[in-house]
Amino acid sequence: MNNTKNTEAERLSFWEKIYIPEIAKGLGLTLKEMFKPKFTRQYPEERWEPEGSYRGRPVLVHEDSGERCVACGLCSRVCPALAIEVQAGETDKDKERFPAKFEINMLRCIYCGFCEEVCPEEAIVMSKDYELVFQSQQEAIMDKERLLVPVAQLQDRLEFLRQYR
């Protein structure tokens, strides 16, 4: 760089050196922004409702007749982070298989959504739940009770998915 002026003071022009016009310019910008719409959000009080395309915590769809999951184990197989464990059991229902145990380790989950994509029963979907805080490693392993969500709460996501089926 061919710069012979070494200090900040040497590089500034006279008007810049006296600061006052620059301060006025800055205050002008601030004043202008005060009358524009706000982009920030008062988070804990004011919550963001994500779109159907949002990939939050994976959950199991719960219908009136029970869970949709038949414990085929494909989500567990496709999961790149090995977050899902499924143990099947036998029921008397028409679909003989059900998940006796279904656990997702949320410390392993990377929210890729492969489990949802591979599911043949549309039983596991990505919810809008993004508030995930745990106080211990054991607490982060979600069992069936915590994973089952009524189908009514998942309509947005299910509709979003249907566009791509």
Partner 1 sequence: MPQIFIDGKKIETKAGKTIIEAAYENGMQVPHFCWHPELSVAGNCRMCLVEVGSPKRSADGSVELDENNNPVISYIPKLQIACGTPVSDGMYVNVNNAKVIEAQEAVMEFLLINHPLDCPICDEAGECKLQDYAFNHSNGESRFVETKNHKDKRQKWGPNVMYDAERCISCSRCIRYAQEVAKQDVLSFVQRGDHVTIKVADGEEFDNPYSMNVIEICPVGALTSPDFRFKSRVWDMSFNDSISFADSTGSNTKLGVRNNEILRVQPRTNMYVNKYWLSDDARLNHYDFVNQNRITEPMIRIDGKLEKVEWQDAIQETAIQINKFKPSEIFFLSSAKATNEDNYAFQKFARQVVKSNNIDFFSHIDKSFEDNFLGVADRSPNSNGATEILGGSQSSNYKVNELAGAISSGKIKCLIVMEEDFKHHEHIIEHLDKLELLVVMYYNHNAVTNKAHIVLAASTYAEIEGTYTNKDKRVQHFTPAIVTKENMRFMGLKMSRLDKFGSFNDRWTQHEARNCKQSWKIIQAVANAMNASWSYKRSEDIFEEISSKLMGFKNMNYDKLDLHQGLILYRADRPDPILNNYDSHVMKPE
CB of residue 94 vs partner 1: minimum separation in angstroms? 8
Task: Kindly give the pairing relationship between strand 58-63 and strand 148-150.
Answer: parallel
What are the start-end ranges of the E strands in the chain?
58-63, 66-67, 84-90, 97-105, 124-126, 141-142, 148-150
| Residue positions counted in the chain | 165
Establish if 120 lies at the interface with partner 1 (CB under 8 A).
Answer: yes
Among 60, 103, 109, 124, binds partner 1 (CB under 8 A): 103
Choice between 119 and 128, CB closer to partner 1 = 119
Q: Enumerate residues 6+ apart whose C-beta is below 8 A from 100.
A: 71, 87, 88, 89
What are the start-end ranges of the E strands in 34-123?
58-63, 66-67, 84-90, 97-105
Choice between 27 and 82, CB closer to partner 1 = 82
Among 6, 138, 164, 165, binds partner 1 (CB under 8 A): 138
Which segment (4-12, 13-21, 35-43, 133-141) binds partner 1 by CB under 8 A? 133-141
Which segment (23-31, 59-67, 76-84, 125-133) binds partner 1 by CB under 8 A? 76-84
